[in-house]
Amino acid sequence: MAADYACLTIDPTNPDGPRIEVVFPAAYTTRLFKYAPVDFENLRSAKYVLENTQRIFFGVRAFNEGGWCFSGRPREWFLKERIVVPFPHDKVFVVYINPRMQVYECRAEFIAEDDPLAPIDWQTRFRGLTWKSIF
């Protein structure tokens, strides 16, 4: 049986504090492995974004309190099975995390007009910006 995988990242509730563990649940990664092999391979991009976060947004889900969206730009990603290409300039990779600090979705999204490190329409999709990298 697969195990959960933990990754250290910025604490969205205390960005200046120590890094915390965010978990990729085994049920999620196993489902991707079985049914979405390209998405499974792109978990590498998700890990990269969590370790090199550029933006953190809060208020992700309309019907549940909490949740965050971490965004960043990996150097490369899987476009198709066994085909790795540079990450496109018109997209940002996002990782969605629930209040229990578990990843439940990750994918590439088009960039916002006002911020190339934020996903499109972030102002209406999320309640706000929690943290922004200065590097």
Phi/psi at 13 (5° precision): -90, -15
pTM score, whole prediction: 0.94
Share of the chain above pLDDT 90, in %: 92
The predicted structure's pLDDT at residue 71: 98
Query: What is 90-101 written as a DSSP string?
Result: TEEEEEEE-TTS
The CA distances from residue 88 to 20, 64, 117, 122, 134, in Å, are 29, 32, 12, 19, 22
pLDDT tens-digit profile of 99-131? 999 999 999 999 999 999 999 999 999 999 999
Domain ranges across the chain: 5-132
Has residue 91 got a pLDDT over 90? yes
Q: For the CA atoms of the chain, what is the radius of gyration?
A: 14
d(CA 111, CA 91): 5
DSSP element (H, E) containing 101: none
